[in-house]
Amino acid sequence: MKPFLSDDFLLQTATASTLYHRFAKPMPIIDYHNHLLPDQIAEDKQFENITQLWLSGDHYKWRAMRANGVPERYITGDASDWEKFEKWAETVPYTLRNPLYHWTHLELQRYFGISALLNKDSARRIYDECNARLQTPAYSVRGLLRKMNVETLCTTDDPADSLAHHQAIAASGFEVRVLPTFRADKAMAVDDVASYNAYLDRLGAVAEVEIRTFADLETALRRRHDFFASVGCRLSDHGLEHLYVAEYTEAEIAASFRKIRGGHELTGAESGQLKSALLVLLAELDWAKGWTQQFHLGALRNNNSRMLRRLGPDTGWDSIGDFAQARALSAFLDRLDGQDKLAKTIIYNLNPADNELIGTMIGNFNDGSVVGKMQFGAGWWFLDQKDGMEKQLNALSNMGLLSRFVGMLTDSRSFLSYPRHEYFRRVLCNLLGTDVENGDLPADMQLLGGMVQDICYGNARQYFGFEKGVAAPAAVAAQ
């Protein structure tokens, strides 16, 4: 019987252990998609206590606490930080077989050197020990990133963001490269007229364009896209239920945009056309700069309207959706490919039923121009756990080239989430090690070890152009 979280945690064979400890573990981390706050990195924030660092904004933990009968006051309410931590500690033993149990104890071990199990009895001691460490310089935000061997991270940023914090970080000489990602979801949120018009006013002010027409919006987005590139941006991102691929004319888009700027609601058909036009515009901007476009597909958001009204979005009321993906995704990619304007693309699905769909779809648009041009993204959100990772890795292996996969990301708002990279690396090495032990793969450790290192680090470094020690250029050459 192996002890819990031993050196060979999740590694079931000797080959898996060798692959992880010799090849995967030493690799730096490229976290090319997360929701960390750049202002906290710029100021090198020192968190007052573990609750503020660990529980604030973590709706994974919030959902578990609610399921355990914890009142909202101890989750997002006005309870003290100690009371919130205590309620989380009381919940942890009930998360057995949920990935939260693994992540919680990995994070306590890797960051704080605490091997004790978190529960009601150990809560006060662990809380005090973590808080004492958090007051030391090594546990500032930048210190936490150094501790996890993070080399590059990409935050998620709106086109209207100033990026002043990214510029300050670069100017400070911080050795971890912190780059923005262009996420224009608000520029596509045309269904809420009042909010959309307010956003367009803000975007126009930052871009120094009065946005009255769709052409003006295109100018504003292009200017912001150029500015993001000047600060080192290499990726865009979209959070969508599914792709939009309605047919439209320039006249129809111009009319719909005038309508919404006049304060009038769009019909369903008009909304679909405008979103489709915006997606194509943004995709073409990405292609022109050689960026990578990311699509996170399939979340059914804000299911609990009562709690949405009370707490707002991104507070733990989202789930997996069952949207039809194949036809729209195929039509969107084909529209761009037909004009030879299809950028490097990563597609993440939230419904595991779509694994083979995505695994085969990317193969339709790999054209040999870029190694691994079309990527099946890592297990996302509800799927970034052992079972979800294994299913994604197996689908990619069966339908494409696992060896060219750009690997894991945190997709997290927490600076304590980096052990998820370790978790993924262990799952990957165990999968390959089991194949070797079963005679399904050759016991060639240099071949397999090189593959592991590429998936954990090398592929992402090459794919995104994150060359170590090279400053981010103002813009990269077009494909």
- pLDDT score for 209: 98
Sheet with 181-183: strands ordered across: 181-183, 235-240, 292-297, 344-349, 374-376
Task: State residue 467's pLDDT score.
Answer: 76
- Which residues have CB under 8 Å from 296's CB, separation 6+? 237, 238, 239, 240, 348, 350, 377, 380
Residue 24: how many CB atoms within 10 A of its CB? 23
CA distance 25 to 202: 44
Q: Kindly report, as residue ranges, where domains of CATH 3.20.20.140 are found in the chain.
A: 141-464
Q: Name which CATH class applies to 46-139.
A: mainly alpha
Closest CA to 282 of 195, 206, 364, 184: 184
Query: What are residue 154's DSSP bridge partners?
Result: 179
Q: What is the pLDDT of residue 1?
A: 86
Kindly list the distances between the CA atom of residue 372 and the CA atoms of 243, 380, 428, in Å, as whole numbers in the listed order: 21, 19, 18
Give the homologous superfamily in CATH for domain 141-464.
Metal-dependent hydrolases (3.20.20.140)
The pLDDT value given to residue 2: 87
Find, among 292, 186, 184, the residue nearest to 233 by Cα. 292
Copy the structure tokens of residue 133.
């460490």
The predicted structure's pLDDT at residue 476? 33
Q: Degrees (nearest 5) of the Cα angle 330, 394, 439?
A: 145
Helix axes 99-112, 59-67, angle to 10 degrees: 130
Digitized pLDDT (tens) for each residue of the chain, 479 residues in all: 889 999 999 999 999 999 999 999 999 999 999 999 999 999 999 999 999 999 998 999 999 999 999 999 999 999 999 999 999 999 999 999 999 999 999 999 999 999 999 999 999 999 999 999 999 999 999 999 999 999 999 999 999 999 999 999 999 999 999 999 999 999 999 999 999 999 999 999 999 999 999 999 999 999 999 999 999 999 999 999 999 999 999 999 999 999 999 999 999 999 999 999 999 999 999 999 999 999 999 999 999 999 999 999 999 999 999 999 999 999 999 999 999 999 999 999 999 999 999 999 999 999 999 999 999 999 999 999 999 999 999 999 999 999 999 999 999 999 999 999 999 999 999 999 999 999 999 999 999 999 999 999 999 999 999 975 444 433 333 33
Q: Rounded to an integer, what is the distance from CA 65 to the centroid of its chain?
A: 23
CA-CA distance, 81 to 22, in Å (whole number)?
40
Tracing tokens 């990269």 back to the chain, one arrives at: 476
What was the pLDDT predicted at 319? 97
Instruction: Tell me the one-letter amino acid at 176.
Output: V
CB 231 within 8 A of CB 180: yes
Host H or E run for residue 200: helix 193-207
Note the pTM of the prediction, 2 decimals: 0.96
